[in-house]
Amino acid sequence: MARVKRGTTVKQKHKKILQRAKGFLGRHHSTYRTAREKAEKAGQYSYRDRRVKKRDFRSLWIVRINAAVRIHGLTYSQFMNGLKKAGIELDRKVLAEMAYAGDSNFDKLIESAKRFIKAESK
């Protein structure tokens, strides 16, 4: 049986990993061994953080809504409860954008939430 020389296959394999490690600092973008380790770890981080990003944005939206609502004398949970009782179904992303932009409709939402909170307490 003839001997198999693997030079081209190994070179392609290495090239693929080094391409993935482009932009890494130091030897991590040029040395195969370190590039392989760093590219693998980067893949793990990106997989994990695609899920974490959703949590981070949700908490950012909540912080923005809370900050805008506290100016009007409500807390975030009171505001969301008032909106639910009023039958207003807007997601946190839209509410946060309205609060961040200083939209006048957001003030109307706050007033309607307050109205339903007061109606409940009576």
pLDDT per residue as tens digits for the range 9-22? 999 999 999 999 99
Instruction: Name the amino acid, one letter, at 49.
Output: D
In the chain, the percentage of residues whose pLDDT exceeds 90 is: 87
pTM above threshold 0.95:
no
Tokens of 74: 């409500």
In tens, the pLDDT along 63-108 reads: 999 999 999 999 999 999 999 999 999 999 999 999 999 889 999 9
In the chain, the percentage of residues whose pLDDT exceeds 70 is: 99
The domain covering 8-121 belongs, at the CATH homologous superfamily level, to Ribosomal protein L20, C-terminal domain (1.10.1900.20)
DSSP type of residue 27: G
Q: What is the reported pLDDT for 4?
A: 86
Distances (CA, A) of 33 to 23, 29, 37, 47, 107: 16, 10, 6, 22, 58
Which residues fall within 8 angstroms of residue 113, CB to CB, at 6 or more apart?
Answer: 74, 78, 79, 81, 82, 83, 85, 86, 88
Residue spans per domain, the chain = 8-121
Q: Which H/E stretch holds residue 44? A: helix 32-70
